[in-house]
Structure 1
């Protein structure tokens, strides 16, 4: 600061106007940092993965191959992630209220994805063996094979759901971090130095 003051003092002319002035102002381009996260691609990924999960869970539920008490929280969490993904795409216009809404929904989507992960784990570990009544009956060999095949599909689907929810958590955290940089809810707005050089007055 002493060097800056010295520069200003040296630039003072007869009219007492500094030749060099330094001041700090808000970074007007800070909103562009949000676009560095590729919000359109990540938002569409959130929407696509959530729609895929809703479709698969709906198919299993329609065939009575799933537990509705576990699937309802899974449906709700997927819907919240879809809303968050839509806001992430909409926030590309860099409108500050939209960015704030996107930040809030990404935090909600992160929690919803964790809930969905827990539901998928519960579905994988807590589902009863639905083929037990075929295992002890020799007359139902073909049904037993088909039933175990379906059980295997459900197990793989639950594992896939867990991986998808981990990806959704990572996407939500990434988008929330970039929104936080723009909204400046965690730190004060960054300021950049601006140097103004004034031409000395021409002496006649």
Structure 2
């Protein structure tokens, strides 16, 4: 048999395009600063629980409402802990973090609604009484001062829940980028060129 000449391009195509998974996709989660956001979630929830306990011990709220606040805040604390734990970029931990951030967001929305209704109910439900028999200018001033301060207190709780919702949504979005729950995984194109051997 005669020797065959090598025909350029006979071994395969000159250009091949393949798609590979992005190698550092999990690093996207670390861009969200999960440790800082998780600590913020935990700190705000602990502050909120302590505030609810103070309100309950001073007989300024009802047990049923306080129980929903505490349970919702416990979910947020668990979500914050998982956000910190997910820094190891272990996929099951990231999935658990995503699920708990969604639960924490729902719990924070419920707590926000209850806090807004408490604030509105407090504004319309409590008023300062004036007694005709007693010259109570000092009592009226004290009463209005307390009413105003509790309105500010409820507004602060509403602000805390708004911040917790924003943190939960942010962490859930970054978890979703890594877990690919909303879109197919990103693939990076790899172009390979095969140079034909030089003819001599």
TM-score bin (small chain): 0.7 to 0.9
Q: What is the match of residue 33 of structure 1? A: 28
Q: Distance in 1 between matches of 2:105 and 2:12?
A: 55
Question: TM-score w.r.t. structure 2 length?
Answer: 0.84
Alpha-carbon contact 2:82-2:96 (below 8 Å) kept? yes
For the aligned residue pairs, the C-alpha RMSD in angstroms reads: 2.4
Q: Residue 196 of structure 1 aligns to a residue in which SS?
A: strand
Match of 1:136 among 131, 136, 145: 131
The structure whose residues are more often helix, as a share, is 1
Give unmatched runs, 5+ long, in structure 2.
1-6
CA spacing shift, 1:129–1:202, aligned 2, 3 Å:
same
**Alignment check: 8 A CA contact 2:9 2:196 kept:** no
Cα distance in 2 for partners of 1:130, 1:61 equals 20
What stretches of structure 1 of length at least 5 have no aligned partner?
A: 1-9
Q: Go from structure 1 to structure 2 and tell me whether the alpha carbon gap of 1:11 and 1:85 turns closer, same or farther (over 3 Å shift).
A: farther
The reply to whether residue 178 of structure 1 matches residue 174 of structure 2 is: yes
Take 2:63 and 2:149, find their aligned partners in 1: how far apart are those partners? 18
Specify the alignment match of 1:47 in structure 2: 42
Query: Using the alignment, how far apart are the partners of 2:194 and 2:82 within structure 1?
Result: 45
After superposition, the C-alpha distances for 1:3-36 in whole angstroms (9 at most, x for unaligned) are: xxxxxxx9725xx144543211111211111111
Could you state the TM-score of these two structures normalised by the residue count of structure 1?
0.82
Aligned with residue 188 of structure 1, among 167, 173, 184? 184
Task: Render the CA deviation track for 1:115-158: whole Å, top value 9, x for unaligned.
Answer: 111111121122332754xx327287666554443333321111
Structure 1 residues 32-85: Cα deviation after superposition (integer angstroms, max 9, x where no partner): 111111111111111111111111111121122222222111111111111111
